[in-house]
Chains A and B, each alone.
Chain A
Amino acid sequence: MASGKKEVLYALYNDETELFAAIRAAKAKHLDIMDVFTPFPVHGLDPIMEFEESRLHIVGFVFGALGTLTAFLSMSWIFTRDWPIIFGGKPYWSVPAFIPITFELTVLFCAIGMVVSFYTVCGLGPGVTNETLDDRITDDKFCLAFSTNGKSDGEVSDLKSFLNSTKPFEVNAKTLSK
C-alpha cells in the first residue's frame, strides 16, 4: 500500500449487470480502473477486469501436499520407529488406518495455508484496519473506483461525466488517508 493520501472518484451501482456494463465501457475507453468493490464474490469479474489467473490454488495445492506428507510421514515414523504399538493385531505400518488422518491434515493445512496467504497478500488480518471507501459496498452496492491522484481538474470532470453516463446509483469523491 502506497503511503500518503489517495484521492478517489467512485460510482455506486445497484447490481452487478450495471457494474459489468460500466467496466466494459471503461475498458473500451482504456481508462485506468483503480479497483472494483462488491458486497459478495461476483462470478466473471476476473476476465472482464483482465486480471491474471490467481495463484492462490497453487498455494492451496502446495499446502495440501505439505499436509499429506506431514501426516503420513509423521504417523509412519511414530508407529514404526518412535513408539510402535500393535492395534488390534494390525501391522505397525497400517496404511489404511493412516488415510483418514492424512486426509484431515491435508484439508487443514490447505485451508489454513490459503487463508494465511490470502490475508498476507491482501494486507488483512487481526488488528489491521483498512479505511472503507463507502459503507454501502459492504451491504448492497457495487462500486467502480478511479484514482484521481495527480489528475487535472479537466480529467477529473471528464471521468465524472463518464461515470454519470454509465447510469450509476450515485457518483462520489473521497480522500483516503492511505
Chain B
Amino acid sequence: MDNTFSFDGRLKTMTIGFMVVGVICLALTFFMDSQPDHVRFWSNILHNSVFFTGISAMALFALTAFISAWAGWFATIKRLFEAYSLFLLTGFILLLVVAGGMWAHAHHLYHWADPSTLDPTSPNYDEILVGKSPFLNKGVFTFLGVGAVGVWYLIARMIRNLSIAEDKDGGALDHSFHKKMRIWSAAFLPIAGFTIPAMVWLFIMSVDAHWYSTLFAWYNMAGWFVCFCAFTILTIIYLKKKGMLENVTTEHLHDLGKYMFGFSVFWTYCWFSQYMLIWYANVGEETIYFRERLDGFPVLFYANLVINFLVPFFVLMRNDTKRKYGTLIFVSIVLIFGHWIDMFLMLKPGILKTAKEHAAHSDHGHGDHGHEHAADHGGHAVEHAAEFVSGFTMPGFLELGTFLGFLGLFLFVFFSRLASAKLQPVNDPYMMESVTHHT
C-alpha cells in the first residue's frame, strides 16, 4: 500500500495557478477600487482570510473534540484533519496583515478603529464606541484576535508532532502518545470555546460596531464546520480517485455527510434564531442589521438560506445521497460557496457603510457639519446601500478571483502538509476500529 502522498504535477500547478489568479485579482482590485482607501481590496483580504482561517480552526476543533471523545472512526482520515488545521499558521500571518494594516492606517474597515470616534471634541464622537472601547481597540484586536490564532496553531503543531512521533516510535499497544494528544486536545477545547467567539466578534461582528448578537459566534462556527466537512469530503474523494486511502470506505464518507447535513441544519437554526429574535423584539439598533441587508442585498439574503439550508437539507436527507460521490461533491461545492457568500453578507454591508461615512467626514472637513453626522442612525446607510456598488452589492469577478487565489493557497498548504507525513497513521491505537468502521 502506498502510504505517502506526493504533492506535485498537475495538482501543484493548479493550486499555484489559482494563487496567481488571486494575486492578479487583488492587484486589480487595489488599483481599480471605486471606493476610497482601497476598501474593496482590504475587505476582500479580510473576508477570505477569516473564512479560511475559520475552516482550519474547525479542523482543529473537530480533531481535538474527537480525540477527547475517544472517537475511533476517524483515525484513518485524521491526517487530513491535521493538515487542514496546520493552515492556521498561514491564517495567522494573513490576519496579522489585516491587523498591521489597521496599525498603519492603511485601511478603514472598522468604524471603531477611527480614533476620532473616541474624542469628545470631534464631530465623529461616538458614545457607544467609547463604551465598547475596552474591548474594541487595536491592542485587543491584535493580541486577542490574532494572538488566539497563533495559540491555536501551536496546539495544532503539538498534536501534529505527537501524531508523527507516534508513527515513528509508537507501538501497537503503546498509548502514551495518544494520552498526550488527549491532554492537548482537552486544553484546546476550553481555550477554543472562549477565543473562537472573541476572534469572530473582533474580526467579523465588529464591522457593524454598534450592533451585536450573542449567537453570532456559534452561527459562524457552524458555517465553518460545514465548510470543513465539505473540504474533507472533497479531498477524500479526490485522493480515493487517485487510488489512495483505500481504508476509507463509504461509511466514513457517510459519517462526514451526516456531519455536513447536521451542521447545515444547526447553521440554519442559529441563523433563524438570530433573525427571529431581532425581528420579534423590533429594537431599532438591532433590526438595522437586517434592514440594511434586506434593502441592499435582497438576492444574496434569500439565496443564502436556499443555498445553505434548503439544498443540503433536501439533497442530503436520504441515506444514499450521503454515500454517493456525485451528490456529495455537488453539495460540498455548493456549501463552500454558500458559506463564503454568507460571510460576504456579514462583512460587506458594514464595511461599505463605514467607508461611506469615512468619505463623508473627510469631505465635510471637521467641526462644521457635525449635525449631519448620522453614523448611528439607519436612514443614511439604507439610502447608500440601495445603490449598486461593485464588489459590495454582489461579489464580482475580482471577488471570485480573490476567492480562487485564497482557495489555491489553502489547498497548497493543505496538500503540502498532507505530503509531509504518512497518509495513514501507522500506530494509532484506534486504527483498527477505524478500518472496520461501519454504520
A43 pairs with B438, CB closer than 8 A: yes
B439 pairs with A97, CB closer than 8 A: no
A-B contact count (CB 8 A): 22
Bound form: Cα–Cα A89–B279 in Å: 11
Q: Name the contact of A99 in the complex, choosing from B276, B282, B318, B319 (C-beta under 8 A).
A: B276
B31, CB-defined interface residue at 8 Å? no
A150, CB-defined interface residue at 8 Å? no
A57, CB-defined interface residue at 8 Å? yes
A96, CB-defined interface residue at 8 Å? yes
Bound form: Cα–Cα A90–B54 in Å: 37
B276 pairs with A44, CB closer than 8 A: no
B280, CB-defined interface residue at 8 Å? yes
Q: With A57-B319, A89-B282 in contact, is A96–B439 under 8 Å at CB?
A: no
A100, CB-defined interface residue at 8 Å? yes
B319 pairs with A44, CB closer than 8 A: no
B337, CB-defined interface residue at 8 Å? no
A88 pairs with B280, CB closer than 8 A: yes
A79-94 CB mask vs B (1 if < 8 Å, else 0) is 0000000001110000
A44 pairs with B280, CB closer than 8 A: no
A43 pairs with B279, CB closer than 8 A: no
A96 pairs with B319, CB closer than 8 A: no
Bound form: Cα–Cα A61–B318 in Å: 10
Q: With A88-B280, A88-B282 in contact, is A99–B272 under 8 Å at CB?
A: yes
B275, CB-defined interface residue at 8 Å? yes
B112-139 CB mask vs A (1 if < 8 Å, else 0) is 0000000000000000000000000000
A50-72, CB < 8 A from B: 53, 57, 61
Q: Name the contact of B280 in the complex, choosing from A53, A57, A96 (C-beta under 8 A).
A: A96
Bound form: Cα–Cα A97–B279 in Å: 9
Chain B: interface residue total (CB-CB under 8 A): 11
- Which of chain B's residues have a CB closer than 8 A to the CB of A61? 317
Q: Name the contact of A44 in the complex, choosing from B272, B279, B438 (C-beta under 8 A).
A: B438
Bound form: Cα–Cα A100–B268 in Å: 12
Output the residue of A53, A57, A96, A99 with the most chain B CB within 10 A: A96
A96 pairs with B275, CB closer than 8 A: yes
Closest to B275 in A: A96
Main DSSP-derived SS at the B contact region: loop
Closest to A87 in B: B280
Q: With A43-B439, A44-B439, A57-B319 in contact, is A96–B279 under 8 Å at CB?
A: yes
A97 pairs with B438, CB closer than 8 A: no
A16 CB → nearest B CB, Å = 11
Bound form: Cα–Cα A97–B439 in Å: 38
- Which of chain A's residues have a CB closer than 8 A to the CB of B279? 96
Bound form: Cα–Cα A3–B280 in Å: 60
Closest to A64 in B: B317
A97 pairs with B276, CB closer than 8 A: yes
Closest to B439 in A: A43
Closest to B320 in A: A53
- Which of chain A's residues have a CB closer than 8 A to the CB of B275? 96
Q: Name the contact of B276 in the complex, choosing from A88, A89, A100 (C-beta under 8 A).
A: A100
- Which of chain A's residues have a CB closer than 8 A to the CB of B319? 53, 57
B309 CB → nearest A CB, Å = 12
A33 CB → nearest B CB, Å = 20
A58 CB → nearest B CB, Å = 10
- Which of chain A's residues have a CB closer than 8 A to the CB of B272? 96, 99
Bound form: Cα–Cα A168–B86 in Å: 49
Bound form: Cα–Cα A58–B282 in Å: 40
- Which of chain B's residues have a CB closer than 8 A to the CB of A99? 272, 276
Q: With A43-B438, A43-B439, A57-B319 in contact, is A96–B282 under 8 Å at CB?
A: no
B310-322 CB mask vs A (1 if < 8 Å, else 0) is 0000000111000
- Which of chain B's residues have a CB closer than 8 A to the CB of A89? 282
Closest to A17 in B: B436
Bound form: Cα–Cα A89–B280 in Å: 10
A149 CB → nearest B CB, Å = 33
B381-439, CB < 8 A from A: 438-439
B364 CB → nearest A CB, Å = 37
Bound form: Cα–Cα A24–B439 in Å: 18
B298-333, CB < 8 A from A: 317-319
Q: Which 7 A-B pairs have the closest CB atoms?
A: A44-B438, A96-B276, A96-B279, A43-B439, A43-B438, A99-B272, A97-B280
| 22 pairs of residues in contact across A and B, judged by CB atoms under 8 Å | A43-B438, A43-B439, A44-B438, A44-B439, A53-B319, A57-B318, A57-B319, A61-B317, A88-B280, A88-B282, A89-B282, A90-B280, A96-B272, A96-B275, A96-B276, A96-B279, A96-B280, A97-B276, A97-B280, A99-B272, A99-B276, A100-B276
Known contacts A43-B438, A44-B439, A88-B280, then 18 further A-B pairs from the complex at CB < 8 Å, ordered by chain A residue: A43-B439, A44-B438, A53-B319, A57-B318, A57-B319, A61-B317, A88-B282, A89-B282, A90-B280, A96-B272, A96-B275, A96-B276, A96-B279, A96-B280, A97-B276, A99-B272, A99-B276, A100-B276
